[in-house]
Amino acid sequence: MNTNELIKLLNDYKNNNIDQEEVVNYIKTAPFKNIDFAKVDTHRHLRQGFSEAVYCPGKTPEQIIDIMKELKKYHSIVLSTRANKKTAAAVLKEISEAKYVKEAKIIQWGEYPAQQSSNYALVITAGTADIPVATEAIITIKANGVCVKHIFDCGIAGAHRLFSHIDIIQKASVIVVAAGMEGALASLVGGISSCPVIAIPTSKGYGANFNGLTPLLAMLNSCTSCVATVNIDNGYGAGTIASLIVKQSKD
C-alpha cells in the first residue's frame, strides 16, 4: 500500500465509499503490506519467475507434499532440496508429475521457465565428487530462468585444464566454484575472471578436511578479492545468488 493508495483509501472513507470497520481492519493488517514484506515476497517470485524451495530434512513427506502443493499455486516450478530416496518416493507417489533428480537430491515439480537473456552463470567443479553439489546449483539457476554453463573436474592439481576454458570463464556474469579438499580452485578462478565468484566448499575430503571446514576456511581467506562464500555443500544458496546477479546484469 503506497501513499497514493492510502490517500485513496482515506478519501473513499471520507466519501463513505467504504465503512469505518473496513478501513480500520485494512490499516490494522496493513503494516506488513506497508513494509512490503509478507505478500510481496510471494508476488516478487511470481513476477520475476523465481522458484521457492522446500528444504526437506526434518520434515515429514506429508509436510513436504502440503508445502509443495501450496507453492505450486503461485509458481510454475517448485523444488524440494536434499530429499533422500525414501522421502522422494513418498512425495512422488502423491505428486506424480514431479520427478526426482537423484544426483542432486532434488524433487522438481514443473518445467524450467524460459531464459530471458544470453547472460549466463558458469558452474565449475574441482573434481568429479563435487558434481552433485554443482548440480543442485545448476538446477536452482535453471529454475530461476537463467542460462547456466559448466566445467567439471578441473582442480588445481592440473590447472591447465582450467586455462583451456579461459573464454567461457571470462564471459560469464557470475561463476560458482564447488570444491572440496583444500578448496584452492576458487582463488585460482578468481584470479583469471572479472565477475563475482560464489564459492561453495564441499564436504569431499578426509582426515583434516573436517567435512568441508578446510575448503570453507580457504575460500573465506581467498587472496583474490572477488570471492564470497556460502555454507558447505550449499548448492541451492549459491545458485540463488548467482541467479540474482545474472538476472540484473546488462546484456
Question: Which residues in the 52-71 window bind its own copies by CB under 8 A?
Answer: 53, 57-59, 63
Determine, following the binding rule CB under 8 A, whether residue 157 of this chain makes contact with its own copies: yes
* H or E element that contains 110: none
The footprint of its own copies on residues 199-218 (CB under 8 A) is: 201, 203-218
Q: Which residues of 76-108 are buried (b: 16+ CB within 10 A; e: fewer)?
A: ebbbbbbbeeebbebbbeebeebebbeebbbbb
Distance of CA 29 to the CA centre of its chain: 31
CA distance 49 to 85: 28
Closer of 36 and 111 to its own copies (Cβ): 36
CA distance 215 to 170: 24
Closer of 97 and 251 to its own copies (Cβ): 251
Determine, following the binding rule CB under 8 A, whether residue 163 of this chain makes contact with its own copies: yes
The footprint of its own copies on residues 64-123 (CB under 8 A) is: 82
CB of residue 35 vs its own copies: minimum separation in angstroms?
5
Determine, following the binding rule CB under 8 A, whether residue 37 of this chain makes contact with its own copies: yes
CA distance 89 to 84: 9
Determine, following the binding rule CB under 8 A, whether residue 18 of this chain makes contact with its own copies: no
Determine, following the binding rule CB under 8 A, whether residue 245 of this chain makes contact with its own copies: yes
CB of residue 149 vs its own copies: minimum separation in angstroms?
17
